Amino acid sequence: MAEPIRITKVPIPRPKPKDSELGFGQIFTDHMFVANFQEEKGWYDPRVEPYAPIPLDPAAAVLHYAQAVFDGLKAFRGVDGKIRLFRPQKHVERLNLSAQRLCIPPLDPELSLASLVTLVGLERDWVPRKVGTSLYIRPTIIASEAFLGVRPAKSYIYFVILSPVGAYYPEGMAPVKIKVEDRYVRASEGGLGGAKTGGNYAASLLASEEAKHGGYTQVLWLDGVHRKYLDEVGTMNFMVKIGNEIITPPLSGTILAGVTRDSSLALMRQWGLTVSERQVSIDEVVGAHRAGTLAEAWGTGTAAVISPVGELTYRGDRMAINGGRVGPVTQRLYDTIVGIQYGQAPDPHGWTVEV
C-alpha cells in the first residue's frame, strides 16, 4: 500500500497578494510537497511541510552534473469558483519520461498526481481569482547524493512548489517579434531536447539574451545538424499555418512534447483543420512569405497558452505575418483552451481535474 502523505502546516498562513500585483514566479505559497529517494528504500516519506530552503550538501550531484528534471502546470479558479488542474496526468507522465532520460528513478504516477492535488487543495486560498491569473505548479526532482563521481546518483529529492501568477496578457494577446537563430543550437538529435531539464534552459540563455538586445522577444530555434528545420520558439512549441495547412515539427527527440501542443493538435483536428506533424524548413517559410501564403504562426506552452508571432527575422530579412495581427486559428485556440481552463466552456476531452 502507498505510504500516506504526512502533513505539517504552518502556524499562521501568510497574507495573499492582490491579483493585480502578481507577476511570474516571484511569490511562493506557505507549503511545499517533498519526498525522498534512496536506492535501498525507493521513494519514501511523502509529505507536505512549510515552504523553506532545502538543505543540500555542496557535493550534491545536481549542483555539479545537472541531474535534475522538472515540469510546469497550472491550477485555475473557474468562473464557477471550482479549482481545476489542466491535464495533470499528462504532466506527471512527462516528468517520468524526462526522468528516464536523465537516469532519475521514476515516481509512482499516483503519488505524483496525489502530491499535486493534495498540495493545491491545501493551498486553495492561494489560487488567484481574476480570469487569466493562476497558480503555477512546479514539480522538480534533483539528485542529492554527495558524490563527485560521474554516474547516476543514489539519492534524490522530489519537491513541488506553488506560485500564484498574474495574467500573461493583461492587455490582450500581443504578437511578438522573433529572431530565427542560425548560430546557437538548443538541442540536437540524441540529446536532451525531449526532456524538461534545466540544462536545456542554460543552453538557451545566451541566444535569448542576444535576441533581446537586438529588439526581439525570443528566438526560433533551428535543428542542430542542417540549421534548417524549425524546432521550437523560445521555450514553447511552434506552429505555422501555410496556406490551409497547419504544420508543427514532429516529436523527434529535439523538441519537448508540450501538453499545450498536444491539446492544440487535438482541437484543430476536431475542428476539421488540416494539421501536419512534419519537418518544416526555414526556406519553406521564407518561400511561403514571398508567395503570400504565410498565414499565421504561434508558440504553445503552459505559461502563455498561445503566443502569436507577428514577425520573423531570418538573416536580417523581416517577414511580417498576418500584418502583425493575431490570426483566426491562433485566437480560436487561445479562447478555447482558456475557456476550458476557467470552466467557461465544456471540457469534452476530460482535460481538467477538479481539486
Ligand X SMILES: *Cc1c(COP(=O)(O)O)cnc(C)c1O
Interface with ligand X by CB under 6 A: which residues?
72, 196, 200, 232, 235-237, 256, 258-261, 300-302
Nearest approach in angstroms of CB 110 to ligand X is 21
Of residues 122 and 161, the one with the C-beta less far from ligand X: 161
Residue of 110, 122, 145 lying closest to 38 (CA atoms):
145
Of residues 46 and 139, the one with the C-beta less far from ligand X: 139
Nearest approach in angstroms of CB 275 to ligand X is 16
Of residues 155 and 200, the one with the C-beta less far from ligand X: 200
Of residues 72 and 105, the one with the C-beta less far from ligand X: 72
Residue of 340, 254, 333, 346 lying closest to 301 (CA atoms):
333
| 313 burial level (CB within 10 Å; 0-12, 13-18, 19+) | middle
Nearest approach in angstroms of CB 78 to ligand X is 20
Nearest approach in angstroms of CB 336 to ligand X is 15
Measured between alpha carbons, how far is residue 189 from residues 68, 255, 299, 323 in Å? 20, 9, 21, 34
Of residues 43 and 168, the one with the C-beta less far from ligand X: 168
b/e string for 316-327 if b means 16 or more Cβ within 10 A?
A: eeebebbeeebb
Nearest approach in angstroms of CB 56 to ligand X is 23
DSSP secondary structure, 313-335, as one string: EETTEEEESGGGS--HHHHHHHH
DSSP secondary structure, 114-166, as one string: HHHHHHHHHTGGGS--SBTBEEEEEEEEEE--B--SSS--SEEEEEEEEEEE-
Of residues 300 and 322, the one with the C-beta less far from ligand X: 300
Nearest approach in angstroms of CB 271 to ligand X is 19
